[in-house]
Amino acid sequence: MRPGKLLDPAAQLRLEAAVLEAERHTAGEIVVVVARACDEYGSAGWRLGVSLAALVFAGLLAFAPPLAGWIYLAAQAAALAAAHAVARIDAVRRLLLAQPLVLARVAERARHAFVANGLAGTQQRTGILLFVALLERRVVVLADEGIHRALDPNESWQQVVDLAVGGLRRGGAADAVNGLEAAIRRCGEILARHVPAPDRNPDELSNRIVLED
């Protein structure tokens, strides 16, 4: 699903309001980026296609009478094309992806989003990114050094990640929005405890939800 379809204008405004409210109590600058996918993962369709073509060929040899060579080729080509079409369905493609590759691509895209959205440029280095990859159903939280210095050594953002991922995995748009809103609130609570808002608390970065279709 594309981010623009998952998050309609009303949902985007709701999440932006959650970011604004969270930032009222912290010097942290929260940016939410929702991406369609972190890679094309073209190899997934080829792997499924080769497997299906091999099964079709084996099935014809085992159960069909001898056929002309072009029929075997055509059947395998059709199997390959069908596999590529099926692999474009998110639920299917997700099953075909190697997890080490997914983790690497999501981490790379999150680092790019951190820089591209100005999170490394805040005055006190208090930018924090909540990056959501829809196809992969992965969430990454990246915080700048000003936040890392303030957190306890054994503290993590796992609760924030779990809230967002839980909403995505329940499947519905409303669930996804609820999960993201809860994740933003929890992020704000952690930041308020460790990086409280100063007397003058400028809003350095946009609260707009960034959609990468």
40 vs 195, more confident: 195
Q: What are the helix (H) ranges across the chain?
A: 3-6, 9-23, 42-63, 69-87, 90-96, 99-116, 145-150, 158-169, 173-194
- pTM to 2 decimals? 0.86
Q: How many Å from the N-terminal Cα to the C-terminal Cα in the chain?
A: 9
CA atoms within a 13 Å half-sphere pointing along the CA-CB vector of 195: 27
pLDDT interval class at 57 (50, 70, 90): confident
Predicted confidence (pLDDT) per residue in 13-54, tens digit: 999 999 999 999 999 999 999 999 999 887 777 777 788 888
Residue at a domain's end among 96, 116, 132: 96
For residues 159 and 169, state if they share a domain: yes
Q: How far apart are CA 198 and CA 139, in angstroms?
A: 29
For residues 114 and 24, state if they share a domain: yes
Query: Which residue type occupies 180?
Result: L
For residues 23 and 109, state if they share a domain: yes
For residues 20 and 76, state if they share a domain: no
Strands 138-143 and 127-133: antiparallel
Predicted confidence (pLDDT) per residue in 132-148, tens digit: 999 999 999 999 999 98
For residues 141 and 208, state if they share a domain: yes
The CATH number of the domain holding residue 141 is 3.10.310.50
For residues 198 and 131, state if they share a domain: yes
For residues 31 and 118, state if they share a domain: yes
For residues 154 and 168, state if they share a domain: yes
Structure tokens that stand for 115 in this block? 């820089």
For residues 56 and 159, state if they share a domain: no
Number of domains in the chain: 2
181 to each of 134, 143, 166, 174, how far by Cα in Å?
Answer: 16, 18, 12, 11
For residues 25 and 53, state if they share a domain: no
Q: What is the DSSP letter of 26?
A: B
Strands 138-143 and 210-212: unpaired
For residues 50 and 31, state if they share a domain: no
Predicted confidence (pLDDT) per residue in 73-117, tens digit: 888 888 888 887 887 888 888 888 889 999 999 999 999 999 999
pLDDT recorded at residue 182: 97
Range of the domain at 188: 3-39+98-212
pLDDT recorded at residue 105: 96
> What CA dihedral angle connects 136, 138, 143 and 147, to 10 degrees?
180
